[in-house]
Amino acid sequence: MSSVSKGAVTSSRSKMKREQTRRGLLYALPDWLFIIILFFVPILLLVVMAGSRWSLMGGNRGWNFPENFVKVFHSDLLGQSIWFTIEYTVIVTIILLALGLGLALIVQESSKWNTVLRTCFLLPSATGLASASLLFYAMYSPQVGPVTKILHFFGLIGEGGSVLATGQSALWATVIVIVWRFSGYYMLLMMIGLQSIPGDLYEAARMDGANSWRIFRSITLPLMKPTVVMCLVYCVTGSILAFDQFFILTKGGPNNSTMTVVQLIYNFAFDSKKDLGMAAALSLLVLIALVIINSIQMRGMRDNTK
Amino acid sequence: MKSFKQAGRILAGVVAAAMLIPMAACGGGSTDQAAKKVTGAGADDGTTITLWTRAPLERQAKNVVSAYNSSHKNKVKLEIIPNDDMEGKVGGASQTDSLPDVLAGDVVRIPYWASEGIFTDITKQIGALKNKADLQQGHIEAGTVDGKEYTLPFITDVSIMVWNKDLYKEAGLDPEKGPSSIKDFTEQAKAIAGLNKSGVAGSYVAGQSGGALVFDLFPSVWADGESVMNKEGTEAKLDNPSMKAELEAYKTLANTPNGLGSGSKEETGATWTAPFANGKIGVMPYPNTSVTAIMEAEKKGGFHVGVTPLPGTKEGKTSTFLGGDAMGISKDSKHVAQSWNFLSWLMQDKTQAKVFAAKGDTASNVKTLKTAYTNADKRVQTINSVIIDGNGQTPKSPKFNEAFNAAGSPFQLLVQNAIWGNGDLSADNKAVTKALGDN
């Protein structure tokens, strides 16, 4: 009698557990479907493409690993584009993080004027990156834009010259677009970090007689570390994947001097080589590089004050 | 655990299905079978056929299509594609088997398209055309792979030398006599530069546009009997004396105040015809399709323009770049007979006279060029003569785009180094060869 009831209890308990598992899996199913369709399948296709002879016009013509990777490494433009991407990433990251934090400190306190300032700083973030690039393309144009005339007035540029004409000036012209477009966004992220620092810490520091610089160094910066690292991850990833701004402003020119890695992928696929296999191979390499770089940066996010 | 295995199996299924997609795109060859049965003028049975062409030749393409549609039961549906999007769009459509019935493209891109199997083999039909010998051969040659012919000329665009007669008068030059050698060209451009007029320059060159540069620079090399590539299109031969003299001429102008129009070095080709059309340039190589508009403006009080064939380093010999668009029937066409009807109709002398000659455009049929322009402007006849004389060429290489046309191509760098830098022509020539021979 008792054994029977005991068995019934375990069986109903395991039944309940199975039911729970089933329901749990069902709940997770939509997410999994999205992850599989939008993430795993494309990456698998990318891997297949990277290992195949796959031209833009001719389609898939069979496995040829590792030929695409060999060709990518033999490309004259690869080293140049990696170097340029790194240069661009370092410049943009330093300026954006410093400016983001600076702006956040300025408008941190809530007052009438600060609200207006905040809105002003954030406004460019409302434009799309492509529209912002087009806007600046028009401003930089020697035919219709004011920039050439202004610089010519100060004797910095020849009459009818363009700031996009040389590699270095085109790089800085693009950096200005990105800073204009994104500094407000990073200000917002930094401000959230600043406001999560408890006010009594500042009060205590002031009572101990610390000056503003000391407070900033010993309280604000350490407690902002997770926010700064998050911004760093965003900014570095975004800069390494830079495409829109250069595609619109310079198309990699003049003479390939502003060719980023992602533009090189586009160039392999649709312009010079018309080889989707090579483009996929380079994409895969960029993906691996990003995973490594981000995992290193993520270590910085760990809270090691505890 | 069990459900995980199940999920694994589903995943494997999805992946397998995804991998089948490209395999399906690998079929083909069926249109070649259909083409074998097409004879004569094909079929005119009220079918709608689709045609893609690129934006720079929109005007001519529209004239052709409306003339065909008003005289046939078949209807051609024209789609105009931006020049820069063409390659990507054709590539995408090719992989999903959704190419239009008739596909027209820049003649320098055609060898690559043909070698990738984009077109249907129409060797037999082209061979059966009674006037095949009259047709512009460069566009047929461009689409010939292993003896199989895939394309016919659609629209011809040639390069010629133009000069601004008003500026010539001001500079004390003979306004009726354009340059007849590279040396003349340099001297006349320098004379215009010497006017020291604000915004006016001797010549202009599209420094960042490989496409415009080959169009401008190659003919002088051909005029001297030199070549730019070997026959197979796998090796560059740009370090010849003619090319050197020509690049030297532009370098001299670049170092002369007002010698080359401002923006020459950065010009990407989007606006390279504009400075001359605005009357700001003395003399430069130019596309004939853009001359028509200048001559129309001349009637309304614009500046006077002179036209002469592109000279070499020696007087008396000229040549041209036989550019424009060639067209063929795509591998995905389901209406091969109807598409052939359109193609063969356009090749006829009468058609060419009606859709091109009567509208002031250049025909692709030599017989039409000789007979249908007797009342036309003398300059139009000069333009036609460069096609008729047979000195023009179309460079052919499957890797032409990568080596010459693409943004930042080795040829573009060669020209940039030679005109605005201290270029080493033979080293830069090797870089072009590397791109041509690369597989």
Q: H or E stretch including B70?
A: helix B58-71
Residue type for position A303: D
pLDDT band at B167 (very low <50, low <70, confident <90, very high): very high
B15, B90, B91: residue with CB nearest A41 = B15
Separation in Å, CA of B389 to nearest CA in chain A: 34
Determine the 3-state secondary structure of B408 from DSSP: coil
Instruction: Work out the average pLDDT over A8-19.
Output: 80
pLDDT, average across residues B379-393: 91
pLDDT at residue B313, as a whole number: 94
Per-residue model confidence (pLDDT) at position A1: 44
Q: How confident is the model at residue B236 (pLDDT cuts 50, 70, 90)?
A: very high
Of the candidates B23, B26, B408, the beta carbon closest to that of A253 is on B408
Residues of B in contact with A270 (CB under 8 A): 87-88, 91
Omega of the bond leading into A198 within 30 degrees of 0 (cis)? no
pLDDT computed for residue A111 by the predictor? 82
Distance from CA of B273 to the nearest CA of A (A): 15
Which of B:107-166 have CB within 8 Å of A?
112-113, 116-118
Question: What dihedral do alpha carbons A30, A34, A35, A40 form, nearest 10°?
Answer: 130
8 Å CB contact between B237 and B229:
yes
Q: How many residues does chain B have?
A: 439
Q: Identify the pLDDT of residue B307.
A: 96
Q: Looking at beta carbons, which residues of chain B come within 8 Å of A44?
A: 15, 18
pLDDT at B384 exceeding the cut of 60? yes
| Cβ within 8 Å, pair B14-A37 | yes
- Global pTM value: 0.82
Query: A60–B23: do the CB atoms touch at under 8 Å?
Result: yes
Q: Whole-angstrom Cα distance, residue A247 to residue A256?
A: 12
pLDDT beyond 60 at B18 = no
CB pairs under 8 A between A and B: 101
Instruction: Report residue B49 as tokens.
Output: 């056929």
**What stretch of H or E contains B85?**
none
- The CA-based diameter of chain B, rounded to the nearest angstrom, is 93
Q: Residue B251 — very low, low, confident or very high, per pLDDT cuts 50/70/90?
A: very high
Distance between CA atoms of residues A128 and A134, nearest Å: 10
How far apart CA B381 and CA B399 sit, in angstroms, is: 34
CA–CA distance, B120 with B408 (Å, rounded to integer):
33
Element at A210 (helix H, strand E): none
The better pLDDT of the pair A95, B116 is held by: A95
pLDDT of residue B21: 46
C-alpha atoms less than 13 angstroms from C-alpha of B340 in its C-beta half-sphere: 27
Distances (CA, A) of B247 to A296, B207, B242, B264: 51, 12, 9, 14
Q: Is the pLDDT of residue A14 over 60?
A: yes
Give the C-alpha separation, B67 to B262, whole Å: 42
| Interface residue of A53, A57, A64 to substitute, partner B, most B CBs within 10 Å | A57
- DSSP designation for B363: P
Residues of B in contact with A20 (CB under 8 A): none
Given a contact cutoff of 8 angstroms between Cβ atoms, the answer to whether B331 and B99 are in contact is yes
Q: What is the Cα gyration radius of chain A? A: 27
- Place A304 in a pLDDT band, splitting at 50, 70 and 90: low
Look at residue B28 in the predicted model and tell me its pLDDT: 44
Average pLDDT over residues A74-103: 95
**Confidence class for position B339, pLDDT limits 50, 70, 90:** very high
Alpha helix (H) ranges present in A154-243? 167-195, 199-207, 212-215, 221-240
Question: Is residue B105 pLDDT above 90, yes or no?
Answer: yes
Kindly list the residues of chain A whose beta carbon comes within 8 Å of any beta carbon in chain B. 21-22, 25, 32, 36-37, 40-41, 44-45, 48, 54-61, 76-77, 142, 158-162, 164-165, 251-256, 259, 267, 270-274
| CA separation for the pair A89, A297 (Å, rounded) | 14
